[in-house]
Amino acid sequence: MIHYKTSAEVELMRDSARLVSKTLAEVAKVLKPGVTTLELDKLIAEFIRDNDAVPSFLNYRGYPFSSCISVNDVVVHGFPNAQPLREGDIISVDIGVIKKGWHGDHAYTFAIGDPGPQVMQLIRVTKEALYKGIEKAVAGGRVGDIAFAIQEHTEKKYGYGVVRELVGHGLGKHLHEDPQVPNYGRRGTGAKLKEGLVLAIEPMINLGKREVYTESDGWTVRTSDHHPSVHFEHDVCVKKGHADILSDYSIIEVEELKNPHLFTGQAIELPS
């Protein structure tokens, strides 16, 4: 069942989404080689609680941490751990909060030092694909329009692997609401998009093949070929004529640009 939000509810959700963006910006400030993802998880939990909210991932279906931190070939749902980050690692940080009863949930992938031009291109293209999907989150469209746009820009144009097993979702009073939002599909198919539908759109894109597997911890999802994977996620409200992005990457990007340890995407285009 799909829950449509009133404009007052959307404003509360914008607050929750912005808290996630602010938390990701705190992460962007401290990222550098030597930091452990467990330290980041602590910082994340504290920052969320200091802002009158609760980390929503903690204990969700038994998930044991406040964030998902997925390094290199980990696609999503990586456990924070005591391994120091290294130069050339890419790290996707996925954070969820509940504030005043409403969920925010999004993710951002950072490069710590230079992971090389192929991986930088994967990061840039996955972010672009997210925005191409968001462009389709308008009233009158369908979920398949979003899915198709993401798949076109990643699989068709660059030959990247689009993960099939994990999808985006509706967001609201619950972390996962209807409808599911796949990153692959056909235009004009799937649920109809109506004003007030809030979606977490989240491409998970592999440099190599699309196949993934879940580790014996029951959570960590890795690429089967162990090539790296990138994950970006935004919280978006469907409106008439345009999509309203509730999360705010600009807060994160300012800190990413200021941090000399973080590599940001130059406008590189590799010969295909």
Would you count residue 215 as binding ligand MF3 (CB under 6 A)?
no
Q: Are strands 262-263 and 243-245 parallel, antiparallel or unpaired?
A: unpaired
Candidate residues 19, 53, 57, 154; the one interacting with ligand MF3 per rule CB under 6 A: 57
Closest CB to ligand MF3 among residues 177, 255: 177
- Interface segment toward Co ion; rule CB under 5 A; list 103-111, 148-156, 191-199, 224-232: 103-111
| Rounded Cα–Cα distance for residues 142 and 6 (Å) | 20
Would you count residue 105 as binding Co ion (CB under 5 A)?
yes
Give the SS3 label for residue 39. helix
From the list Co ion, ligand MF3, none, partner contacted by residue 231 (C-beta under 5 to 8 A by kind): none
Which residues lie across from 111 on neighbouring strands? 90, 263
Closest CB to ligand MF3 among residues 122, 199: 199
Closest CB to Co ion among residues 22, 106: 106
Would you count residue 213 as binding ligand MF3 (CB under 6 A)?
no
From the list Co ion, ligand MF3, none, partner contacted by residue 77 (C-beta under 5 to 8 A by kind): ligand MF3
Structure tokens given for 42: 């602590």
Residue 129 host element (H or E): helix 117-135
Q: Which of 168, 133, 180, 179 is nearest to 154 (CA)?
A: 133
Would you count residue 68 as binding ligand MF3 (CB under 6 A)?
yes
Q: Are strands 204-206 and 161-162 parallel, antiparallel or unpaired?
A: antiparallel
How many beta carbons lie within 10 A of that of residue 58, not counting itself?
A: 15
Would you count residue 200 as binding Co ion (CB under 5 A)?
yes
Residues that bind Co ion (CB under 5 A): 105, 200
